[in-house]
Amino acid sequence: MAQVFDLKAMVSYPYEERGKNVFYKAKEFKVRIIELPPGGEMPICEMASHVIFNVIKGAAEVTVNQKKVTITEGQCLISAPATMSMKTENGVKIMGIQIERA
């Protein structure tokens, strides 16, 4: 069964309640909305899964294993399991997909 999600209209919860931002979950992967306000940060976390960040709106600086990259609207970042963090100057809304390792 196919489902359609309006990512631009989705409301997100703060990082402390990030579990509520998961809008689709299957055995192999889960999808969530990540939204940071201007000056917002996502703390360092150890990602045991592969990750895809697709920027819906805004821009963010993502640190992957101590290497910094900037992703902007229309871009995506794909990473193998890594240590990650994120921050934004002007705010960002991202669709994040976590894919379990095979």
pLDDT in tens, 31-48: 999 999 999 999 999 999
Domain 15-99 sits in CATH at 2.60.120.10
Hey, where are the domains in the chain? 15-99
Are 23 and 32 in contact, with CB atoms under 8 Å apart?
yes
The whole-angstrom separation of Cα 86 and Cα 19 is: 17
Could you tell me the pTM of the whole model? 0.91
Are 76 and 34 in contact, with CB atoms under 8 Å apart?
no
DSSP string, 5-39: --TTT-----GGGGGGGEEEE-SSEEEEEEEE-TT
pLDDT band for position 15 (50/70/90)?
A: confident
| pLDDT at 102 (0 to 100) | 67
